[in-house]
Each structure stands twice: as structure tokens, then as C-alpha cells.
Amino acid sequence: MKNIYLIGVGLIGGSFAIDIKKHFSDTIMYGISRKETTLDEALSLNLIDKKATIADLQNADLVIISIPVDATVKLLPTILDNIADHTLVIDAGSTKEAICKVVENHPKRRNFLACHPIAGTENSGPSAAIPNLYVGKTNIICEVEKTTFKLQEKALQLFTAIGMRIRYMDPVAHDKHIAYVSHLSHISSFMLGKTVLEKEKNERDIFDMAGSGFASTVRLAKSSPAMWTPIFKQNKENVIETLEEYIHNLQHFKELMQQENFDEIYNEMENTNYIKQILNGIK
């Protein structure tokens, strides 16, 4: 896989570039982006070696798409139209159903592997790219059976080389579960940030009182709206369901407070403490 084309050169694409170059030194990394300034930044950070366009994709051994999920749904068919027979195309979107759906009947469907690497930070853009982002992280692959076996193998070699674990999943199940373990966290964090900002807007220095617990809980509220709005849009039904359950649980906690039922509040927390064991498994 000599010629790799990154469509999107931000945190996700850029971090792939850094680790792939480390393990495959003969790689030539090409960057494609809507914005010329983003490509210039990626060049200056040595994430990419050359600028390119969609029309150049015939030359690609591998195409990595890491742009907002609405842009992926729009662009993926055109990307497949432009590749060669031996080209592998992977994406990195946080939703999988719409992306799999849009290419289900494409003549080059077997060149595409739908992926969701569970990795990232709250930062975005080329300057957010970091080495070893994917080490020990899970890559969820959907509809693996729809990709040519040879290209599956290629992809697995690459993911293994950069230290990823692989899980296979159905796109509908992926979108449902990821709403709980990722999308809801982002909303809870954004709304927590909003609640505190609204209250404290006239008393900015109150934030001196905030400690590492607050920082950890609202960290995701720094995430990119351009990336997250399309995710919520594509996963609307599942996200609304998680929100309803979350609001219900908060409401119940509030009622226990109003009833001064602190024994039950203790139990609520103790039952959830069990999450320790689960979190120990997450890097």
C-alpha cells in the first residue's frame, strides 16, 4: 500500500498518517480537503507528502475517509466511482447504517470496508493529530462480508500494525449501542457545560472553584459541532431514545432528593459504582 489518499486530514486522518508512515516507510501520503489552508497545514506538519484531488484516486492503493459523516454519505459513491479495481476504501465515521446503505448497490461496494475506530480526543484539525492514537483501541468493522477478501486482509494487516483490536458488528446494532456509549456522553457533557456557563456567565471567576472532576465531565463539550451535528442527525432515533432514558434517570434522582430519600440516593450511586470494573478495561 504505497499510495495512500487521506480524504480529511484532521485528528483522525492525520493520526492515521503519522502511525502508518512509522510502520510503512515507503508510503506516499496524499491529502484531499475542501480547504486549501487545511492541506497547507497538514503539509507543514508532515502529515501528508502531497496535495491531491478526487480525480487522482485512480492512483490510490488505500483511501482513508475521515470527514464529517454527512460529507461521507454524500461523497462515498463518487469516491468509489473514481478508484481503481485494487483500491481499498475505508471510512472512520461514528455512524454506520447510513454509510453502508448509500453504497449497498454500488458496483465497487466490495472495495469498501466500513470502519469505526473508537479513538479520538476532544480536539480537531490537523494540529490535533497525535502519534499512537490507535494503539490498543478497538476498530469496529461493519458488513465485513461485503468487502473482497483480499482487501479485508490488507485492512487487517494495516490495523494490526498500528496496534488496533478488531470487532465485527452489524451497522444497525453499532448505531444503537454507540448512541449509549459515545453519543449520549457528548450531549451530557455539552449540556452540563451549557448549564454551568448560563449560571456563571456574570461570575466568570467562579470557575476557579472548578476542579478536575468538572474538567473531566465537560471535556467532550470542547468537541467540534461540525463533526457532531451530522452524527446526531444520522443517529437521530437512537440518540433520542438514550436522551429520554437519561432524562428519566435524572428526574428520578431529583425526585428522590425532593423526597429526602437519601437511602435510595446512596443505593443509586452504589449500584452504579459497579461501572468501575467496566471502566478498568477502557484506556
The minimum distance between CB 184 and its own copies, in angstroms, equals: 7
Locus of grid cell 440516593: 265
Q: Looking only at residues 103 through 122 of this chain, which bind its own copies when binding is defined by CB under 8 A?
A: 118-122
Q: Looking only at residues 18 through 57 of this chain, which bind its own copies when binding is defined by CB under 8 A?
A: none
Please say which residue, 113 or 231, places its beta carbon nearer to its own copies: 231
Q: Say whether residue 168 binds its own copies (CB under 8 A).
A: no
For the chain, state the CA radius of gyration.
21
Q: Looking only at residues 59 through 98 of this chain, which bind its own copies when binding is defined by CB under 8 A?
A: none
Rounded to 5°, the CA angle 224-230-231 comes to: 85
Cα dihedral sign, 38-43-48-49: positive
- Cα separation, 129 vs 18, in Å, equals 8
Which one of 9-17, 99-107, 142-150, 202-210 is the stretch in contact with its own copies (CB under 8 A)?
202-210
Name which position in 58, 167, 168, 170 contacts its own copies (CB under 8 A). Answer: 167
Please say which residue, 105 or 212, places its beta carbon nearer to its own copies: 212
Q: Looking only at residues 206 through 245 of this chain, which bind its own copies when binding is defined by CB under 8 A?
A: 206-223, 225-226, 228-230, 232-233, 236, 239-240, 242-245
Please say which residue, 49 or 200, places its beta carbon nearer to its own copies: 200
Long-range contacts of 213-221 (CB under 8 A, 24+ apart): 217/189, 217/192, 218/189, 218/192, 218/193, 219/122, 219/189, 220/122, 220/185, 220/186, 220/189, 220/190, 221/122, 221/189, 221/190, 221/192, 221/193, 221/194
| Neighbouring C-alpha atoms within 13 Å toward the C-beta of 178 | 25
Please say which residue, 26 or 274, places its beta carbon nearer to its own copies: 274
Rounded to 5°, the CA angle 28-33-36 comes to: 100
The minimum distance between CB 3 and its own copies, in angstroms, equals: 30
The minimum distance between CB 268 and its own copies, in angstroms, equals: 7
The minimum distance between CB 210 and its own copies, in angstroms, equals: 4
Please say which residue, 58 or 216, places its beta carbon nearer to its own copies: 216
The minimum distance between CB 261 and its own copies, in angstroms, equals: 10
Which one of 11-19, 26-34, 154-162, 174-182 is the stretch in contact with its own copies (CB under 8 A)?
174-182
Q: Looking only at residues 126 through 145 of this chain, which bind its own copies when binding is defined by CB under 8 A?
A: 137-138, 140
